[in-house]
Amino acid sequence: MVPERVQIYDTTLRDGTQREGISLSADDKIRLARRLDELGIDFIEGGWPGSNPKDVEFFDRAKEIDWMSASITAFGSTRRAGIAVDQDPNIQALLEAETPICTLVGKTWDLHVTEVLRTSLEENLAMISESTAYLKAQGRRVFYDAEHFFDGYQADPEYSLQTLIAARDAGAEVLVLCDTNGGTMPWEISRIVREVFQVVQHPIGIHAHNDSETAVANSLAAVSAGATHVQGTINGYGERCGNANLCAVIPDLELKLKAKCLPDGKLSEITDVSRLFSEVANLAPDEHMPFVGNSAFAHKGGIHVAAMRRTPLSYQHIDPEQVGNKMRTVISELSGKGNLETMIEESGLLQGADMDLRTVLNQIKDLEARGFSFEAAEASVIMMIKRQAQDYKPAFKLIDYSVSVQNREGRGTFAEAIVKISVDGEILHTAAEGNGPVNALDAALRKALSPVYPGLKKFRLADYKVRILDGTNGTAATTRVLIDTRNGHHRWSTVGASANIIEASWQALADSVEYGIMRTCTEQQ
C-alpha cells in the first residue's frame, strides 16, 4: 500500500520551536522557510497566527515572497466551545495570516473533550465541523490535525472516527492522525491507519512524536499502511523528546520505500539543510544522527575499514553522497593499516611517500594508552605519518621554550613565552606576550616562524579544548588538549596529552603549525 508520492509537511517553525532551548526570530524563520522551499518541501507551517508577534511578522512577510514549491500554512485550533465560529479570535487570526492552507487541530480523544475542554462530545464535533466549513467557505484549503488520535482511537474508536468524519464532510483535504504523546508502537500505527482508511476513505496523514523513540518508524509504518502525508521537523526538533525527524523520514521514504518526496536531485541537499537548521537554532548538531550526522558514515574498526577498501557496500547501507554526506575514516587504537592508507588517500598530502605504517599504527596505539585521542585530531595523525617518511624534513625543530604567568599592579594577569627554534640550521629566538600561557606560546612561535613561512599570518586558533582524563589524581591528572586551527577555507585539529597542561598544549600547537605549513606549501605547488 506504499503510495508512489508522499507529501512532506514541515512544522519546524512551529512545533520544532517548542523544544527547550530553541528561539527563532522572524528573520530566522524566513531564512529557514526559504531553504525548505529550495529543498522542495510541499508545506511549511509558519506558526500559530496571533499567538506571538514573531509569528504575526512571519506571516506578514511571507505574503510578499514568491515561494517556488512550498505552500505556507498557518496553524490554529478549532473554535472554542460556546462561541460562534465567525466570532472566534483564533479563527479570525488564521484568516488574517492569508495563507492558502490552514491546519486546524481538534480533539479526538474523549478524555480531552470532557476533562480538558470541559464540553460535550456533540459540541466538540460541531466545533470541528463548523471551523473547517467556515475556513473552506473563506477560500482556504484545510488540513485537519486529529490531536491524540491514536490514544483516542484505542479508548473509544467510534467517537474518534466521528471526529474525522466531521472534518472530512466539512471539507478537510487531509486527515492527519497525531500520536501526540508519542507512545504508540509502529505495529499499532500500521493496524489503526488501515482500519481508519477503510472507514473514512479519504487522504490520511501522520504526525508522530518521539517520546518512545519510534517517531520515524511510526511515520514509515503509517505510509506503508497507505498514508500519503507526513508531518515532521528538521533534525527531529520538538517539544519533550521531539517530532519525527524529516532528515531520516525523507531518505527512508525515497531510498527504502521508493516513495517520491522531493524534486529530482534534491535529496542530496538534506545534510546541508540539517546543518543549517542546527546553526540557526544555535544547537550543536547531533554527529551520530542517521544519514546527515558527521559520524553517520564514519568507520573506525580496522576490520570494517579493510572491508570498505574492497567494497563500500560492505559496511554502508547507502552511498552517503545520495544524502549529501561523505564517508570518513577514523583513527584510534582500534585502527588497522587500512585506516591509515585511507587517510593518506583522502588527505592528498602524503601521496607517493615511503612510510612505515606499521610503526605509525603501533605509535598511535601506545599514545592512546597514554591519554591521546586521534579520532578528532586527523592533522596530528597525518604529521605522525609524515614524520615516518624517509624524505621527511621538519619545518622547524624546538630547542627550548619557557612560559611565565605574572600579575602586576595596574596591569593584572598576563603571560609571556620565550621560544627558541631551529629552521634549516638557523636559530630563531623570540618572545611574545598573551592573555594566557598557551596564547603566549602560540604568539611566540608564530613570531619566530612568520619571516620564514609568511602564510602563518593567516592561521587562526579556532578552538581550544581541555579534558581531564583521570580526575582522581587532582592537579596531577593527565590532561588532553585539542586545538582547532583555521586558515580561511580549511580547518584542522591536533591533539596533545600530558600531566603538564603546557606540554600537552605545546604538542598540539606544534602539530597544528607544522601541518598548516605543510598544507600551505602543498597548495602552492
Distance in angstroms (rounded) separating the CA atoms of residues 109 and 90: 21
Q: How confident is the model at residue 206 (pLDDT cuts 50, 70, 90)?
A: very high
Q: Which of 67-71, 356-360, 442-446 has the highest mean pLDDT?
A: 67-71
Cell of 127: 466545533
286 within domain boundaries = no
* Strand (E) or helix (H) holding 103: strand 101-107
373 within domain boundaries = no
Residues 438 and 309 in one domain: no
Tell me the C-alpha to C-alpha distance, in Å, between residue 107 and each of 69, 86, 147, 254, 477: 31, 20, 5, 32, 58
Read off the CATH number of the domain in which 256 is found: 3.20.20.70
Cell of 472: 582522581
Torsion angle defined by CA atoms of residues 473, 475, 476 and 481, in that order, rounded to the nearest 10 degrees? 110
pLDDT tens string 492-511? 889 888 888 899 899 999 99
Tell me the C-alpha to C-alpha distance, in Å, between residue 148 and each of 81, 167, 199, 209, 293: 19, 15, 19, 10, 31
Q: How confident is the model at residue 386 (pLDDT cuts 50, 70, 90)?
A: confident
pLDDT for 480: 86
Looking at 263, 286, 319, the residue that finishes a domain is 263
Residues 227 and 312 in one domain: no
Return the DSSP state at 15: T
3-state secondary structure of 278: helix
pLDDT for 523: 64
Tell me which of 343 and 382 has the higher pLDDT. 382
Residues 359 and 407 in one domain: no
Read off the CATH number of the domain in which 419 is found: 3.30.160.270
Helices (H), 425-500: 437-449
Residues 44 and 157 in one domain: yes
The domain total for the chain is 3
Residues 354 and 453 in one domain: no
Q: How confident is the model at residue 463 (pLDDT cuts 50, 70, 90)?
A: confident
Structural domain of residue 340, as residue ranges? 298-368
CA gyration radius for the chain? Answer: 29
Q: Angle at CA 192, nearest 5°, toward 187 and 193? A: 100
Residue 301 and residue 334 in contact, taking contact as beta carbons nearer than 8 Å: yes
Residues 201 and 77 in one domain: yes
3-state secondary structure of 394: coil
Tell me which of 424 and 43 has the higher pLDDT. 43
280 within domain boundaries = no
pLDDT for 477: 73
pLDDT tens string 122-174? 999 999 999 999 999 999 999 999 999 999 999 999 999 999 999 999 999 99
Calculate mean pLDDT across residues 6-28.
96
Calculate mean pLDDT across residues 273-280.
94
